[in-house]
Structure 1
């Protein structure tokens, strides 16, 4: 909408989550496009906390996240998006949590839990299509929490 205030414009509509690395912003959809283009990956979720990029991946049945696959994911991110979008952490999860309208549950719930919020304050679990996937992401994070939260 063009406003009455000297040609200023208001942009309305949906805004995807953005990740800002070293002053450069990118939408999470761009990250998902790259990661989910790999044949091993069926879903992904990207969250940035304390300047660290954490990417959760759900893989095809029977596959495990190996160092080789982590390298493949980061190489794809580097080649298609640039060096600032190499993940600091890539963590395998069984499924990607979604809202009831099929939007990935990323920011704020996952980020809030990373920042120390109690789960019941970070998310309305009744609004989550697959709550077991949300809890699986939180469990998968536990071994990395202290390291992620370091300054």
Structure 2
């Protein structure tokens, strides 16, 4: 049985003071091998919308938990890969999320993004309702790293 793969990447900015998401860009690796910006619309294939919602749910949980912990988030980057069976059943989800802290924040504020906080946020991302509704047999890996 052949697998299908769907690749996405994401970038967002989170400027002070409120760290709200700005300039969110989601791109899809098309059949042409080119990254294509994604704008949700009624003409977009429904399955792609579903996969983008899975990615955006992870992003939302990451940003919300960073804000909850007062982590001076400046930027988020992510690579997201979904594999399916040939008949479009999700088999695996892999997300590599990277955060960059605000260099103008105090050392104390940046220190809030210690290993325990990163591990906490990574675990919380797995509680995204869309992820939780995936069948138990789906391979799921979500990693979060801080780029400083």
- Give me the TM-score of the superposition, normalised by structure 1: 0.35
Structure whose residues are more often helix by fraction: 1
Query: Per chain length, whose mean CA-contact separation is higher, i.e. which structure has more relative contact order (CA < 8 Å, sep 6+)?
Result: 2
Structure whose residues are more often strand by fraction: 2
